[in-house]
Amino acid sequence: MNHEGYQDPTAEKAVRRYNQMPYHMRRALTDLQDIASLFGFDIITIKDRRTGRKYRVEEKTDQ
């Protein structure tokens, strides 16, 4: 929503894209989660060393 209370689809799209984890990280994360689950661990956060950005891993709902 903008300052007048109306929806702002352009800003909403930009924020969603900024918060989205890059494809190469999502692909690696699925493999890491599979391995970690075999040993009884959960991956909660993941950090990109190149950019320094941290991403919170969403909980899986297919348990």
Q: What is the pLDDT of residue 60?
A: 58
Q: What is the pLDDT of residue 59?
A: 67
Q: What is the pLDDT of residue 63?
A: 45
Amino acid letter, residue 20: Q
**pLDDT tens digits, residue range 3-22?**
778 788 888 888 888 778 88
CA distance 19 to 25: 13
Can you spell out the DSSP letters for 1-63? --TTS---HHHHHHHHHHHSPPHHHHHHHHHHHHHHHHTT----EEE-TTT--EEEPPPPS--
**pLDDT tens digits, residue range 19-62?**
788 888 889 899 999 999 999 999 999 898 988 989 888 765 45
